[in-house]
Amino acid sequence: MSERVALVTGGIGELGRSICERLTRQGCRVAALDIALTTNGDDGRSWQARLARDGLDILLIAADVTDFGSCTQAVAHTESRLGPVDILVNCAGITRDASLRKLDKNEWDAVLSTNLDSVFNVTKHVIDGMTQRGFGRIVNISSLNGVKGQFGQTNYSAAKAGMHGFTMALAREVARKGVTVNTVSPGYMNTKMVGAVPREILERIVEEIPMGRLGETREIAALVGFLCSDDAAFITGANYSINGGHHMH
């Protein structure tokens, strides 16, 4: 792949890091955008330094994807340092699990704004450049639970399903301009987010997975890397499940 510029939101989370590393190894110049960098950037900087020792450069951008103005600045900063954004991976996401009768308004709002509003807030700043240059790759990281629904996740399942609605609509708008828009829906992964599910519940969930194990973030990153490549030019509006057979449709 040529030296494309990629922006990954949630870029210093576990999945975000794997995606950044994958895209960097594919020859992209990568910016990792993350709100965690606004408070304590040490962890992100040590990861960045570790990759630099392997000859892989990542630009760290501190920004809040729930804030449109913060995204304006983040994209401008990325473009001034690396050049126009060719690839956007919307990976920022959080959970606030509770059944609807216990879920409060703040938990609803936090998940909808971080997981869904964010997709508008960032994509809006890169889409015109992509269509004008005749090349773009947008990958929205959704979830198995946006496809099948999950007890305790009305907020998360709604936001993740909404991401794929956005994918399909935008894919149609930009299909003739060399820009593809796709969704990747991971199942339960070996991450801290999934590790926060109570142990007995998680054990039952893993029993439902035909492969009998959690996924690894590098397995998701490999698919994202392909969808971001020049070779994936004819794939758009698709939603890829990657869940060890947990939900087949």
Tell me how far, at minimum, the Cβ of 189 lies from ligand CAA, in Å: 7
Kindly state the smallest distance separating residue 103's Cβ from ligand CAA, in Å.
9
Give whichever of 171 and 220 is closer to ligand CAA, judged by the CB atom: 220
Nearer to ligand CAA, 18 or 153 (CB): 153
H/E/C letters for each residue in the chain? Answer: CCCCEEEEECCCCHHHHHHHHHHHHCCCEEEEEECHHHHCCHHHHHHHHHHHHCCCCEEEEECCCCCHHHHHHHHHHHHHHHCCCCEEEECCCCCCCCCCCCCCHHHHHHHHHHHHHHHHHHHHHHHHHHHHHCCEEEEEECCHHHHHCCCCCHHHHHHHHHHHHHHHHHHHHHHHHCEEEEEEEECCECCHHHHCCCHHHHHHHHHCCCCCCCECHHHHHHHHHHHCCHHHCCCCCCEEEECCCCCCC
Residue 155 found at the interface with ligand CAA (CB under 6 A)? no
Tokens found for residue 125 = 């700043």
> Any idea which residue has 């992209």 for tokens?
28
Q: Which of 36, 94, 98, 242 binds ligand CAA (CB under 6 A)?
A: 98
Residue 145 beta carbon to ligand CAA: minimum distance, rounded to whole angstroms: 5
Select from 47, 156, 166, 240 the one that contacts ligand CAA (CB under 6 A): 156
- Which lies closer to ligand CAA via its Cβ, residue 140 or residue 145? 145
| Residue 154 binds to ligand CAA (criterion: CB under 6 A) | no
Residues 172-191 that bind ligand CAA (CB under 6 A): 187-188
Using CB under 6 A, which residues numbered 102 to 121 contact ligand CAA? 102
Distances (CA, A) of 205 to 129, 152, 158: 42, 13, 20
Active site residues: 156
Identify which of residues 3 and 208 has a Cβ nearer to ligand CAA in the complex.
208
Q: Which of 24, 66, 121, 150 binds ligand CAA (CB under 6 A)?
A: 150
Instruction: Check binding of 198 to ligand CAA (CB under 6 A).
Output: yes
Question: In terms of CB distance, is 102 or 176 closer to ligand CAA?
Answer: 102
Q: Which of 90, 95, 183, 217 binds ligand CAA (CB under 6 A)?
A: 95
Please answer whether residues 221 and 22 qualify as being in contact, where contact means their C-beta atoms are separated by less than 8 angstroms: yes
d(CA 88, CA 75): 10
Closest to ligand CAA by CB, 149 or 178: 149
Segment interacting with ligand CAA (CB under 6 A) among 54-62, 65-73, 126-134, 197-205: 197-205
State the residues that interact with ligand CAA by CB under 6 A: 95, 97-99, 102, 143-145, 150-153, 156, 187-188, 193-194, 197-198, 201
